[in-house]
Structure 1
């Protein structure tokens, strides 16, 4: 959606626009009226990318605790570790082989993980509720309609224009709220003849809000061309053929972060691995690896050096594999960190052990850390957000504890 004020007034939705105009037909009906946008500078110089891993990523198969004595018995068919092709990280944890392309980042201390973390969500293990809580940032799901990333913008002094993007076809609740945010879909494209533009303008001129929004969208479409920039029609088609949707999203995010934007958020699906996990998880991890490497490649070295990429999921999965070669909904999970700003080359967090007595409900990885607290400290270090505002407004009721040292000093 295009938001036209910092107070949340004047929100133009794609559906609302199309319903009121009814004139442009298929080219706009298939497009969300959203294209690359240039923004006024934000009052900080770092970049933050938040990726929601929808479906419940199995942390134990991604960052494998092969040094835990109970691991082998719990995962006989999903057993990882260096002896099974995984990549040793620190002598206790190994990395799923599908993330092998990221190992240079690990060695450069630009890739890290936080293990045994979760939101306050417990027991019901519903994707919908779990994702809502993850993006709302508070257990009171029915008390908040805005997202924690939007509340970060609300409490940051000096934000004069839109500095954040929600990217992709899916709804990003963590960026909903009164602070201005822009959305973009990788299929966004506006192509109108001069006559159609004139007709649209005439029909909208009695409604200033819609007229302004239409003019803005068309101007941006003309200025942008393609999110890769400066390409001919043939080059655009060739680029779309080479890049998969998640790579196109990452490229677009990088383009905006090279400019005045400071925050980007999007999601990657495919993490619900109830059966045949070996193949499904490998595919999802390759998409995550592609996404991180595309961000790095499309940012300048200087900007990558002050970027934090944070990937999080609504909950982890059971420590025991099930009878169909998969795992079921669990509790404790992991966060993935990348970028030059993060303190990588290590697995952060306090490992609770896989001994049955140490498990949550004797079935799940026991959470020893709160996703919100870790994110709060990243905000503090990247943007300078006041810790009281983090605990009172952004993540109401969170116990921040001490700084876990997730960022470069």
Structure 2
């Protein structure tokens, strides 16, 4: 086919195909599984390295303003008080009702065990497999957890995606469905393709045509179209979780804010807020028995760069949501900190390391004081009563349950 006959849809399909070959999803992916019981568990993978310092900003750390003169926010900029120490980015302001209802909490300064070259692919493999071995482990921690949860033989697992996410890959059965391919891309996704294939003359020509067509039609960068796709993914997940399904996983892309973070970050923060609120709305009463874990492959550098963005870093923030957070996990399981507080919700958890030079990891990153696997293990125990022994040998091999106990 001549290039002049290369349609807008075909150009965009080419971009999506190229990205698929590079293993970076450019659209939300939704995976679901059925289990017995009424409790639900949802994971949302925030692909691209979400800046936890931007989403949940330390309000009293004196180093932040000098490290991020253009990205630091004050109350006048719309920063919302979470507690005396931390504030929520105004892009996620729609989450405040969940916070006030104790159906939302944050765990700061956490990361996976990944300590490699700050590579998205490697980091996401470690996040989804739950092991430093990354993709070599071949199965996702959520799939391994499914084998330990009572399941109804009449229910099937469901994956709505172009290719199953690694977190749910494994021996547990899943049905696969592909979403629409006209989902609008985030700026960081196109920048990724430019970096990956920038020296390929053929791709560069096709990319330029796709960008021109997309800009003219508004289909490539349309924020409303992108938000609509994320909301519809969350609604679909919620409607299925309301019925037979009990476990779901999907992704929200767009967090790789190397440049112009001040403009980009509010959009993706709003995407996350819209997804959580749509999930709650579509689940109805089932939300009361649900917990959501939203996590990213790694955080971003503490210092802003010359492009008004941030580079790949280490620790970030884990976002927890759901009706189960408003109450203790069960009789005798509430920690002293939770007693009288109604559970984990409405709090910023974790041990804050500070932003002084001596406290930074590698002299540039927010240091990790917590392990994301501890959070996931605690939530799986909380929701499905998977035993500590199984969690530390079969789901997260080598993990100690001592860290997980802090989130029960």
TM-score by length of structure 1 reads 0.74
Tell whether the 8 Å contact from 1:275 to 1:325 is kept in structure 2 after alignment. Answer: yes
Could you report, residue by residue, the CA deviation over 1:252-302 in whole angstroms, capped at 9, with x for unpaired residues? Answer: 1011101110011010100000000011111111111111111111111x2
Cα displacement (A) at 1:69? 1.8
Cα displacement (A) at 1:52? 0.4
Partner residue in 2 for 1:77: 70
Question: Is the partner of 1:391 in helix, strand or coil?
Answer: helix
Partner residue in 2 for 1:335: 318
Question: Is the partner of 2:134 in helix, strand or coil?
Answer: coil
1:283 aligns to 2:276 (yes or no): no
Tell whether the 8 Å contact from 2:47 to 2:297 is kept in structure 1 after alignment. Answer: yes
TM-score by length of structure 2 reads 0.74
Q: Which runs of 5+ in 2 are unaligned?
A: 1-28, 182-223, 326-343
Cα displacement (A) at 1:241? 8.3
1:321 aligns to 2:314 (yes or no): no
1: CA distance, partners of 2:288 / 2:405 = 20
Paired residues for 1:84-103 under 5 Å: 84-103=77-96
Tell whether the 8 Å contact from 1:51 to 1:267 is kept in structure 2 after alignment. Answer: yes
Q: Deviation above 6 Å: which 4+ runs of structure 1?
A: 34-37, 240-243
Q: How many residues align?
A: 320
- Structure with the higher helix share, 1 or 2: 2
Tell whether the 8 Å contact from 2:111 to 2:370 is kept in structure 1 after alignment. Answer: yes
Paired residues for 1:163-178 under 5 Å: 164-169=157-162, 171-178=164-171
Paired residues for 1:169-248 under 5 Å: 169=162, 171-187=164-180, 244-248=228-232
Provide closer, same or farther for how the CA distance between residues 364 and 98 of structure 1 changes in structure 2, counting only shifts above 3 A. same
2: CA distance, partners of 1:362 / 1:69 = 17
1: CA distance, partners of 2:231 / 2:57 = 26
Q: Which runs of 5+ in 1 are unaligned?
A: 1-33, 189-239
Paired residues for 1:361-372 under 5 Å: 361-372=362-373
2: CA distance, partners of 1:78 / 1:398 = 36
Tell whether the 8 Å contact from 1:164 to 1:262 is kept in structure 2 after alignment. Answer: no
Tell whether the 8 Å contact from 1:64 to 1:94 is kept in structure 2 after alignment. Answer: yes
Partner residue in 2 for 1:306: 289
Provide closer, same or farther for how the CA distance between residues 265 and 72 of structure 1 changes in structure 2, counting only shifts above 3 A. same
Partner residue in 1 for 2:206: none
Tell whether the 8 Å contact from 2:35 to 2:150 is kept in structure 1 after alignment. Answer: no
Q: CA RMSD in A?
A: 2.4
1: CA distance, partners of 2:229 / 2:111 = 28
Larger Rg: 1
Provide closer, same or farther for how the CA distance between residues 142 and 131 of structure 1 changes in structure 2, counting only shifts above 3 A. closer
2: CA distance, partners of 1:400 / 1:166 = 30
Tell whether the 8 Å contact from 1:167 to 1:265 is kept in structure 2 after alignment. Answer: no
Cα displacement (A) at 1:58? 0.3
